[in-house]
Amino acid sequence: MKKDKTVITVSDLYKIYRVGETKVRALNGVDFSINRGEFCSIVGASGSGKSTLLNMLAGLEKPTKGEIVIAGEHMEKKSENGLVRFRQAHIGFIFQSFNLMDTMNAIENVALPLTFQGMDRRTRTRKAEQMLDMVGLTKYKKHKPTQMSGGQQQRVGVARALVVEPEIIFADEPTGNLDSRTSREVMELMQRVVREKKQTLIMVTHDNELAGFADRIFHIRDGKILKIEEKT
Amino acid sequence: MRIGDLLLMSISSLWKRKVRTVLTVLGVVIGTASIVVMVSLGLGLNRSTMQNIEENGGLTSIQVWESGNFDSETSDKDRKRLDDELVKTIAANPHVELVSPVLSISVLAKCGAYENNLDIRGMSGEALARMNFPLASGEVPLAEDTLAFLYGNQILAGFMNSRTGSGYWMDGTIPDIDLQNDAIFIIYDMDSYYNSQGNQGGSGAGAAAVKPPKKYIAQCAGVIDGGLETYKSYSWSVYCNIVPMEAHLKRIFRGKAIPGQPLTATGKPYKEIYYNEIYVEADDMEHVAEVQKWITDMGYQTSSNTEWVDSTKKQYGYIQAVLGGIGAVSLIVAAIGITNTMMMSIYERTKEIGVMKVIGCDMRDIRSLFLLEAGFIGLIGGLVGIGFSFLISLVINRIVAGMGMEMTLSYIPAWLAGASVVFAVFVGMASGFFPALRAMRLSPLAAIRRG
Ligand SMILES: Nc1ncnc2c1ncn2[C@@H]1O[C@H](COP(=O)(O)OP(=O)(O)OP(=O)(O)O)[C@@H](O)[C@H]1O
Ligand SMILES: [Mg+2]
């Protein structure tokens, strides 16, 4: 039953961008697997291919070559609509620049993925409020993004990613726009929530200290995995 | 996504860009209004003409006469006359709603010093009721036991003072007669009358003295409304019920030929009364031509307004198409405006659309959102445009009325209002179609890129 624990399997993954005459090997042969409930962080220098890897795992980009199997399904074989449906069911995403809707308040923002799924207003509002309570924004439910601090906005972002109860959460430098204290707070929040619900979290970061929150740290250089650091 | 959520989201995104939305809607308003007003002019002209035709004998009525062309070989027996048999035959046609014989006779009416030559038309009560005469006083002569007359609205103007020679058409003096209540005498036997007049006026040489014919007092049923100046097809006629008319004429001309009736080879009158005309109403405008042909094929002469109606329809159809085309140009401009607005909106919202895709919005829903937005622009523009059109139409008709013309030049029927709103929505959605496709195909990666 070991296989059952694996939630992501990546094998022989390549991503090659053509810019004019030159080829950019953003990912140059990557193999790894991640277990259910694991918290992994990806670190590396700028331009090493961290975002490219994450985007491909989330199905936002197609690999040039290789396989990505998530929850038993081949991501590289899915149509764009199939990917949308897969993301609705399995994936949450946390952005560096929060990417909240300016015209909507916190509840509406958190409920948005549920709206896309066609859930009725009452249920989705209830779920969104629960999520906001959990991330500690009980007082800010009716606030619009412009009326909140960066840390508060990212908490809304975390709540929005978690509201659909996804198996896997991707986060590309989720604290990149926050100061170090707020970053720690958000990290602790994410770690706590993910542990409680046994969700898998994969996070890209520059910050070695924040990477230390993870169970495993993937070091990437020039599109290849340099080493995988296990924390005990 | 649920329909309600889709609607709310597209409305709120229009609301977020109020100024641009209003300007784009304004384009649609102008486009819709110009099409509607242009088409309404064509429709108004058409309708005015149709009303005109209806007042001039109706859209479904057919007149039947004896065929005029007989060569000498046509024997009297073969001659197709208008008799009760024919009336029955025509009435049996399923597309015929009403048939009435028409018996007309010219008489002289006298009232004090005033005289007038009248054309009396006897028709069935049913037909008289059907004609819908507007009445100034009295009623339509439906009674079949007494002979009573319904005077056309210009009859009064025809009375001339036989002593002074003055009359309405000569010097504008309105005859001092109350048609409804004054005693009017009718001379039916015009031949005898003129003979007797000739005797009195002449030197008395030769012919034996002719006794002047009897005068009969006329009972008035009513007078048609309309004043002395308005001419309609009925203005100059005097109507009565044909049943008492026939009886009355038979009594007056006992043993003699009723004027206008045919005679046998030996110069004797027939037993039966033959009609001058038969009046037929078809059940529908569509069947007029068919019924008319059927009667013509039986060997009679017919007339109706179908050709007039057809040519009018065709003519105004062209006018409408040209006017509508002119209006359509401005709607095309509006459509380009919508496309432009939607494109701008998509460029602005590239990131937002990307985020929506990443957090699980269907491609189909994104397309629907943009189509709905464009559709709303069309809907609001169409609705406001229709309101605007009614306003313009009102102003046009006021101006036309102010110039003294008796017609509604601009006419907006309900179907035009409805169709133009639907059309505006359609144009909106069509204009939003390519922008919507573009939005649908935007890469979700746009959400992750900074800036
Ligand atoms: N769309 C693209 N077209 C061409 N080259 C690209 C494209 N996207 C990424 N690259 C290249 O691929 C490489 C990896 O980029 P990626 O964004 O994954 O780096 P990163 O590790 O996330 O860096 P950072 O820490 O600065 O975010 C870079 O050299 C980049 O220039
Ligand atoms: Mg990156």
For ligand 2, the distance from its centroid to the CA atom of residue A54, given in whole angstroms, is 9
pLDDT confidence bin for A3, thresholds 50/70/90: very low
Q: How many CB atoms lie within 10 A of CB B371?
A: 24
pLDDT of residue B199: 56
Kindly give the number of the ligand 1 atom that is closest to the alpha carbon of A206: 25
Give the chain A residue nearest B1 (alpha carbons). Answer: A118
pLDDT tens column, A25-66: 999 999 999 999 999 999 999 999 999 999 999 999 999 999
How many whole angstroms separate alpha carbon A97 and alpha carbon A173?
Answer: 9
pLDDT confidence bin for B202, thresholds 50/70/90: very low
Q: Is B136 on the interface with A (CB under 8 A)?
A: no
pLDDT at B357 over 70: yes
For ligand 2, the distance from its centroid to the CA atom of residue A13, given in whole angstroms, is 18
Angle between helices B363-402 and B306-348 (to 10 degrees): 140
The whole-number average pLDDT for the span A161-177 is 92
Element (H, E) at A190: helix A180-197
Nearest to A116 among B16, B362, B444 (CB): B362
Q: Is B445 on the interface with A (CB under 8 A)?
A: yes
For ligand 1, the distance from its centroid to the CA atom of residue A22, given in whole angstroms, is 14
Size of the A and B interface in Cβ pairs below 8 Å: 65
Q: Do B80 and B299 contact (CB within 8 A), yes or no?
A: yes
Higher-confidence residue of B208 and B336: namely: B336
Instruction: Confirm or reject: Cβ of A51 under 6 Å from ligand 1.
Output: yes
pLDDT confidence bin for B50, thresholds 50/70/90: confident
Q: Quote the minimal CA–CA distance from B450 to chain A in Å.
A: 8
**B360 with A80: Cβ contact below 8 A:** no
How many whole angstroms separate alpha carbon B379 and alpha carbon B426?
Answer: 9
pLDDT of residue B18: 92
Tell me the ipTM for this assembly. Answer: 0.92
How many whole angstroms separate alpha carbon B206 and alpha carbon A87?
Answer: 123
**β pairing state of B237-241 and B149-151:** antiparallel
Instruction: Walk me through the domains of chain A, giving residue ranges and CATH numbers.
Output: 36-61+79-230 (3.40.50.300)
Give the chain B residue nearest A173 (alpha carbons). Answer: B448
pLDDT of residue A232: 67
How many whole angstroms separate alpha carbon B295 and alpha carbon B88?
Answer: 13
Q: Is B352 on the interface with A (CB under 8 A)?
A: yes
The whole-number average pLDDT for the span A11-23 is 92
pLDDT of residue B206: 47
pLDDT at B326 over 60: yes
Which residue has its alpha carbon closest to ligand 1 atom 1?
Answer: A17
pLDDT at B221 over 50: yes
Average pLDDT over all residues of chain B: 86
Q: Which amino acid is at B251?
A: R
| C-alpha of A13 from chain center | 19
Instruction: Confirm or reject: Cβ of A45 under 6 Å from ligand 1.
Output: no
Kindly give the number of the ligand 1 atom that is closest to the alpha carbon of A52: 18
Q: What is the 3-state secondary structure (H, E, C) of B216-245?
A: EEECEEEEECCCCCCCCCCCCEEEEEHHHH
Which residue has its alpha carbon closest to ligand 1 atom 29?
Answer: A47
Which residue has its alpha carbon closest to ligand 1 atom 22?
Answer: A51
pLDDT of residue B66: 86
Ligand whose nearest atom lies closest to the CA of A207 = 1
pLDDT tens column, B133-182: 889 899 999 988 889 999 999 998 889 888 888 888 888 888 888 888 88
| C-alpha of B256 from chain center | 44
Give the chain A residue nearest B362 (alpha carbons). Answer: A84
User: For chain B, what are the domain ranges?
Assistant: 3-54+312-450, 60-304
The whole-number average pLDDT for the span B332-347 is 89
Instruction: Confirm or reject: Cβ of A153 under 6 Å from ligand 1.
Output: no
Q: Quote the minimal CA–CA distance from A34 to chain B in Å.
A: 22
pLDDT tens column, B107-124: 999 988 899 999 999 999
pLDDT at B308 over 90: no
Ligand whose nearest atom lies closest to the CA of A14 = 1
**B362 with A84: Cβ contact below 8 A:** yes
Q: Is B283 on the interface with A (CB under 8 A)?
A: no
pLDDT of residue B70: 54
Element (H, E) at A88: helix A80-90
For ligand 2, the distance from its centroid to the CA atom of residue A178, given in whole angstroms, is 16
**β pairing state of A91-94 and A168-172:** parallel
pTM for the full model?
A: 0.72
Q: Which of A33-47, A111-125, B248-262, B425-439 has the lowest mean pLDDT?
A: B248-262
**A84 with B450: Cβ contact below 8 A:** no
Q: Quote the minimal CA–CA distance from A231 to chain B in Å.
A: 29
Instruction: Confirm or reject: Cβ of A49 under 6 Å from ligand 1.
Output: yes
